[in-house]
Amino acid sequence: MPQKLNNKVAVITGGSSGIGLAIAKRFAQEGAKVAITGRNQKTIDQAIAEIGSNGLGIQGDVSKPDDLTRIYQTVADHLGKIDTLIVNAGVYVLAPLASFTEEQFDQVSDINFKGAFFSVQRALPVLKDGASVVLISSTVNGKGIPNHSAYSATKAAVRSLARSFSADLLDRKIRVNTLTPGPVDTPVFASVTGNAEEANAMKEAMGNFTPIKRVAMPEELAAAALYLASDDSAFMLGAELLLDGGLRDL
């Protein structure tokens, strides 16, 4: 079968684990030259070993615009201009409204919202005209869930950015769309629980909360990201692709 991203250059922020790593691996299989970013060099190196020879890992923090400028210049120097950008880096910070701290608020907004905004803005000089940009949101961008107020708000902001960025970039024919997952089987469950047993229990509970009665696999999100990155979605602009097992609508 023909490769849908043959000789394309793709950048995935937060590409060293979870959804981002699954996307990077799928894009490499489809012929893309793939650059991933992350904050931990060891995790990046492990991810590149999985992605293969078409992978390039660059350490950096998306909440720091100067890091993003350096990242994109490194991509341009090594791989050329960017055909597709997946804005995936994010943090999942949960706490009750009454006890949510300013530090927690700054962390989730700096990475999920500010990071998404500047991940696109700082990429503009090295994005090709006609490029595809995909912002990773969350199904909670349209739901009210306890302990999720700040996180949900940042993901709603990301959904909004896809519309506004699309309008801003019409003259360059750069398409910006949102990929919106429900619960996905990633290390995020371990990050918000105390041990493996609690993480598995949370994953099972969130899976049962969906009408389809399971969490998604990262590879399912990677297949959706491939659709948005490729010419298959050429008529899709400023839109949202929802993969949440029916959680929002049923």
**Alpha carbon of 176 to those of 30, 216, 249: distances in Å?**
21, 23, 24
Residue range 9-181+217-243 forms a domain whose CATH class is alpha beta
User: Which residues are annotated as catalytic?
Assistant: 151
The domain ranges of the chain are 9-181+217-243, 187-215
Q: What is the pLDDT of residue 30?
A: 97
Q: What is the pLDDT of residue 1?
A: 65
Pairwise CA distance, residues 154 & 163, whole Å: 15
Query: What DSSP element (H or E) covers 73?
Result: helix 65-78
Length of the chain: 250
Instruction: Determine contact, residues 179/165, Cβ cutoff 8 Å.
Output: no
pTM: 0.96
Blockwise average pLDDT, block size 10, the chain, 250 residues: 91 97 98 97 97 96 98 98 98 95 98 98 98 97 93 98 98 98 89 84 89 96 98 98 94
H runs (alpha helix) in the chain: 18-29, 41-51, 65-78, 102-109, 115-121, 149-168, 188-191, 196-209, 218-229
Pairwise CA distance, residues 155 & 162, whole Å: 11
Q: What is the pLDDT of residue 192?
A: 78
